[in-house]
């Protein structure tokens, strides 16, 4: 463990890694170089999220040669949110910075982020992407749409275009450790805790090597988790749809009844309109039941109360 020197804050860098054999060595080198220039005690916490490639042995080698590198190996892949959660749960430093292994969030910015925190006396410095290099048009478009949609849906408002790349202090970590929900949307939860949070603008770089470990399926799961955990609007939308359907039904009923009496409606020829409304309202019903199902699914997961992640091995942690 790192000793605290006076009231100087010590810093931990938390890095989730999944199949990152192509970037780990370079990633460690660059992060180490930056940390070496700081005048405060530092450490790196790598969380190996069940990698199937050489990430496991590479991280062990780094930990063996550098006592200020801690490693947590998961028993399988639990996803980056679980990995970052484990990092925060196991961090005893005063400050932590969450960083991606692929260097899309450059560690060279750490000194600036630290001095911004110092100047503003902030508890959180969240890093806002001014631009995103080396990412597909599709990814940038869906990400932009997602952050705006989530803000519209959610009861709290989140900073836009902000990933998990951020600095958090001990106060925030202590509060974060009290969250026991399984579907963690970390950037949302950290906004949610409050305290003083300030933005830091940066250019997001391209991955230094390898491919994104976030295929569309994982992105979709991540986006729906965020929506469902931070908003009850989809449920209200279901009520609104139901209300509209009832109103339309009532108006039509009155119209056709009067039409029959006064002879201005020839309802018998209405096969198309009947089919259309049956299909349409059948769809509305399935959709709203589906929304309900999503929330029940979440309740089911939360009620089971399974652990968020399972640790296989740890390195350089003191028991």
Beta carbon nearer to ligand UDP, 13 or 238: 13
Residues that bind ligand UDP (CB under 6 A): 16-18, 20, 49, 77, 79-80, 83, 100-102, 104, 212-214
Cα end-to-end distance, the chain, whole Å: 10
Q: How far apart are CA 107 and CA 126, in angstroms?
A: 14
Q: Which does 101 bind (CB under 5 to 8 A by kind): Mg ion, ligand UDP, none?
A: ligand UDP
Beta carbon nearer to ligand UDP, 165 or 176: 165
Beta carbon nearer to Mg ion, 94 or 102: 102
User: Are 24 and 55 in contact, with CB atoms under 8 Å apart?
Assistant: yes
Beta carbon nearer to Mg ion, 136 or 177: 136
Q: How far apart are CA 93 and CA 4, in angstroms?
A: 9
Q: How far is the CB of 102 from Mg ion (least distance, A)?
A: 4
**CA angle 187–193–196, rounded 5-degree value:** 95
Q: Which does 107 bind (CB under 5 to 8 A by kind): ligand UDP, Mg ion, none?
A: none
User: Counting contacts by CB under 5 A, is residue 19 touching Mg ion?
Assistant: no
Q: Which does 16 bind (CB under 5 to 8 A by kind): Mg ion, ligand UDP, none?
A: ligand UDP
Q: How far apart are CA 133 and CA 230, in angstroms?
A: 29
User: Are 163 and 75 in contact, with CB atoms under 8 Å apart?
Assistant: no
DSSP strands (E only) in 18-140: 42-48, 69-74, 95-98, 124-132
Q: How far is the CB of 189 from ligand UDP (least distance, A)?
A: 17
Q: How far is the CB of 231 from ligand UDP (least distance, A)?
A: 22
Q: How far is the CB of 38 from ligand UDP (least distance, A)?
A: 22
Q: Which does 72 bind (CB under 5 to 8 A by kind): ligand UDP, Mg ion, none?
A: none
DSSP strands (E only) in the chain: 11-17, 42-48, 69-74, 95-98, 124-132, 162-169, 197-204, 311-315
Q: How far is the CB of 224 from ligand UDP (least distance, A)?
A: 16
Beta carbon nearer to ligand UDP, 212 or 224: 212
Beta carbon nearer to ligand UDP, 70 or 213: 213
Binding mask 100-119 for Mg ion (x = CB under 5 A): x-x-x---------------
Encoded tokens for 89: 């749960």
Q: How far apart are CA 143 and CA 129, in angstroms?
A: 11
Token pair 């990698």: residue: 51
Q: How far is the CB of 103 from Mg ion (least distance, A)?
A: 8
Q: Determine the interface stretch with Mg ion among 16-24, 98-106, 126-134, 246-254 (rule: CB under 5 A).
A: 98-106
Beta carbon nearer to ligand UDP, 41 or 56: 56
Give CB contacts under 8 A, 24+ apart, made by 287-291.
287/238, 287/241, 288/238, 288/241, 288/242, 291/234, 291/235, 291/237, 291/238
Encoded tokens for 27: 């990633």
- The contact set with Mg ion (CB under 5 A) reads 100, 102, 104
């Amino acid at each position: 463990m790192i000793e605290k020197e006076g009231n100087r804050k010590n810093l931990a860098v938390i890095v989730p890694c999944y199949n990152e054999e192509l970037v780990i060595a370079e990633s460690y080198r660059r992060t180490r170089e930056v940390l070496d220039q700081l005048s405060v005690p530092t450490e790196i916490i790598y969380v190996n999220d069940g990698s199937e490639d050489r990430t496991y042995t590479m991280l062990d080698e780094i930990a063996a040669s550098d006592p200020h590198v801690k490693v947590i190996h998961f028993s399988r892949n639990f996803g980056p949110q679980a990995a970052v959660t484990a990092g925060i749960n196991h961090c005893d430093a005063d400050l932590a910075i969450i960083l991606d292994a692929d260097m899309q969030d450059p560690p060279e910015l750490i000194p600036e982020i630290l001095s911004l925190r110092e100047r503003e006396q902030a508890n959180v410095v969240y890093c806002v992407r001014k631009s995103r290099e080396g990412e597909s048009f599709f990814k940038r478009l869906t990400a932009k749409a997602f952050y705006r949609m989530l803000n519209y849906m959610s009861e709290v408002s989140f900073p836009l275009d902000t990933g998990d790349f951020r600095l958090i202090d001990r106060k925030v970590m202590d509060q974060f450790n009290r969250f026991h929900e399984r579907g963690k949307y970390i950037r949302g939860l950290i906004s949610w805790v409050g305290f003083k949070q300030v933005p830091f603008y940066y250019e997001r770089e391209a991955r230094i090597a390898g491919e994104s470990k976030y295929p569309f399926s994982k992105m979709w799961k991540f986006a729906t988790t965020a929506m469902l955990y931070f908003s009850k609007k989809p449920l209200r939308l279901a009520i609104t749809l139901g209300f509209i359907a009832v109103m339309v039904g009532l108006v039509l009923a009155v119209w056709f009844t009067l039409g029959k009496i006064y002879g201005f409606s020839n309802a018998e020829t209405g096969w198309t309109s009947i089919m259309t409304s049956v299909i349409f309202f059948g769809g509305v019903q399935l959709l709203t039941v589906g929304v309900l199902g999503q929330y029940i699914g979440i309740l089911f997961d939360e009620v089971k109360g399974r652990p968020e992640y399972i640790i296989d091995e740890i390195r350089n942690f003191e028991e």
